[in-house]
Structure 1
């Protein structure tokens, strides 16, 4: 396989979301579709005024948990150089089950070859959180951000609006199963490139969870935009 162009990567993830959007418009009830779209559009409108960390900021120490309950600090992840953290909503999120396999296909091989850690992060507690890794056979760890501590520090969380909260409760949902807290709050999908010393070198926040960071943008932030999947494998 030759070099994969930026446009190839870019269309790959977005085309998967466009197919899902089209299917939802055919099969979902108008009411359910309206609730989903309204929350996403509201988050996009609010994003410019939302306070969050930016490139150059230095994070305070934080720890994440793996499925065995072992703590992994941000300093652990960046002990040998930069690390890439992909924040996602929860294991049962359909859009997350599209994004993480995409990153497994297009991003993970390049980062592995470059010796750069890649981890996915969600506030959802284990053991349910680990189901997204096993279901998609992900080649990178899935870690828990206990009680949204790191996500809140980054400024990337959002609250369900009333309609979305009611829709979740009507299906038997509980905030505790999503984030371990009593708050209906989740991280917005976010890609964070962290350098040693907990320095933010790149952050991209996706308030619309059906529009996420493409692999070329991440590779460019790392200076790896000319690497191919075949070369990394």
Structure 2
């Protein structure tokens, strides 16, 4: 799982002077529960209503068919996210410098395609020089 691999890479991010965080539209109570359950060593910030993701153009709305599939698997986004928008963020990994400038972005509309943490570490090392 991607989060397990990122969890293992957290110390390397820290050694490079970076802070790794995840951002999720879930309510903070669910993020906290998930973080504890998975024993994650990085923070998961809550993005209510996908407001931050929308500013970056990284959201999509689930179709009615997909909404039905989610509900059949007991994934109730209204419950977990605290709104009825049925929107999700695109999976993305960004490196943002201390001035708030995006220096690296890995985004793919196919949620099954995710970069390995090592790719992000290499990009971070290249930024540092």
Q: CA deviation at 1:199?
A: 0.6
1:140–1:171 Cα change, 3 Å = closer
CA contact (8 A) 1:151 1:187 kept: yes
1:62-97 Cα deviation digits (max 9, x unpaired): xxxxxxxxxxxxxxxxxxxxxxxxxxxxxxxxxxxx
Rounded to whole Å, the distance in 1 between the matches of 2:65 and 2:118 is 35
Structure with more contact order per residue of length (Cα contacts < 8 Å, sep ≥ 6):
1
CA RMSD of aligned residues (A): 1.9
Q: Where do 5+ consecutive residues of structure 2 fail to align?
A: none
Q: Name the TM-score, length of structure 2 as normaliser.
A: 0.87
1:150 aligns with 2:52: yes
Match of 2:115, SS state, is coil
Rounded to whole Å, the distance in 1 between the matches of 2:74 and 2:121 is 40
Alignment of 1:156-167 (within 5 A): 156-167=58-69
Q: CA deviation at 1:104?
A: 1.1
1:165–1:196 Cα change, 3 Å = same
1:168 corresponding residue in structure 2 = 70
**Structure 1 stretches of 4+ moved >6 Å:** none
1:123-142 Cα deviation digits (max 9, x unpaired): 10021122221112111111
Q: CA deviation at 1:189?
A: 1.3
Q: CA deviation at 1:154?
A: 0.9
- Higher-Rg member (1/2): 1
1:177–1:206 Cα change, 3 Å = farther
Q: CA deviation at 1:172?
A: 4.8
Aligned length: 127
CA contact (8 A) 1:206 1:213 kept: no
2:32 corresponding residue in structure 1 = 130
Match of 2:26, SS state, is coil
Q: Where do 5+ consecutive residues of structure 1 fail to align?
A: 1-97, 225-233
Rounded to whole Å, the distance in 1 between the matches of 2:38 and 2:91 is 18
Match of 1:127, SS state, is helix
Rounded to whole Å, the distance in 2 between the matches of 1:178 and 1:206 is 23
1:170–1:139 Cα change, 3 Å = closer
1:166-188 Cα deviation digits (max 9, x unpaired): 12234554332232221111111
1:228 corresponding residue in structure 2 = none
